[in-house]
Chains A and B, each alone.
Chain A
Amino acid sequence: EVQLVESGGGLVQPGGSLRLSCAASGFTFSRHWMHWVRQAPGKRPMWVSRVNGDGSTTAYADSVKGRFTISRDNAKNTLYLQMNSLRADDAAVYYCVRGGEPTVDYWGQGTLVTVSS
């Protein structure tokens, strides 16, 4: 059974940093692209970033480019999102999502990020 468990969310002040983690199990982690997708309360999901199987290729939404960094550790079956210079509009539930064929398929339960002073 595919499982994706996020952690690392919490309350942070504007301009602060957080590092999200996602522990994956139930599939061959290194064979899949992995994504972060966020969803503010009552809003549509918004794609944030993706990384390929070996971590060599990444992409970001324009709104987070230069502030967020996606990475992975295939030995630990773990996906990361380093978030710097956080702003109020970054507040959301952040989901770790598996890249399936042809589109994203399994989603974790999410971790809540709150940005407030």
Chain B
Amino acid sequence: DIVMTQSPDSLAVSLGERATINCKSSQSVLYSSNNKNYLGWFQQRPGQPPKLLIYWASTRESGVPDRFSGSGSGTDFTLTISSLQAEDVAVYYCQQYYSTPQTFGQGTNLEIK
């Protein structure tokens, strides 16, 4: 199975500031035939199910604010929130869907400083 490892485990950022979460996969999730990274990002607010934010490593799901952006390729990826809002307090998970079983990172707990 592909192991997904996130850093940091927790992060405190002031309102309006940038938040950056990293994700590393134990093997590449870049499929050479279509040059796409099989990497997603999910947001899970307290008491709620995960919500898809980004797929193909950098494509925002419909309705997701443009302050959320994803980048990276191969084994190293980043989720950036450009200007933190109060409603962004949540746990964020990266996920690979390159191979079965799809697997998730351990999560990054994002709080307001």
Listed in ascending order, the chain A residues whose CB lies under 8 Å from chain B are: 44-47, 59, 61-62, 95, 100, 102-110
Interface residues of chain A: helix, strand, loop or mixed (majority): loop
Q: Are A105 and B52 in contact (CB under 8 A)?
A: yes
Residue in A44, A61, A102, A110 whose beta carbon sits within 8 Å of that of B97 in the complex: A102
Q: Are B49 and A108 in contact (CB under 8 A)?
A: yes
Would you call B38 an interface residue if the criterion is a C-beta within 8 Å of the partner chain's C-beta atoms?
Answer: yes
Q: Which of B38-56 contact A (CB under 8 A)?
A: 38, 40, 42, 48-52, 55-56
Q: Are B103 and A103 in contact (CB under 8 A)?
A: no
Further pairs besides A59-B100, A95-B49: 11, Cβ < 8 Å: A45-B50, A45-B95, A45-B104, A47-B101, A61-B101, A95-B50, A102-B38, A103-B38, A103-B55, A109-B49, A110-B49
A102 neighbours in B (Cβ, 8 Å): 36, 38, 55-56, 97
Would you call B93 an interface residue if the criterion is a C-beta within 8 Å of the partner chain's C-beta atoms?
Answer: yes
Cα of A26 to Cα of B103 in the assembled complex, Å? 27
Count: A-B pairs, CB below 8 Å? 45
Report the minimal beta-carbon distance from A69 to chain B, rounded to whole angstroms: 17
Would you call B106 an interface residue if the criterion is a C-beta within 8 Å of the partner chain's C-beta atoms?
Answer: yes
Cα of A103 to Cα of B39 in the assembled complex, Å? 9
Cα of A108 to Cα of B51 in the assembled complex, Å? 10
Would you call B61 an interface residue if the criterion is a C-beta within 8 Å of the partner chain's C-beta atoms?
Answer: yes
Cα of A103 to Cα of B55 in the assembled complex, Å? 7
Cα of A46 to Cα of B106 in the assembled complex, Å? 10
Cα of A47 to Cα of B61 in the assembled complex, Å? 21
Please provide the 5 A-B residue pairs with the shortest distance between their CB atoms, ordered closest to farther: A107-B49, A103-B97, A44-B104, A47-B101, A45-B104
A62 neighbours in B (Cβ, 8 Å): 101
Cα of A103 to Cα of B99 in the assembled complex, Å? 11
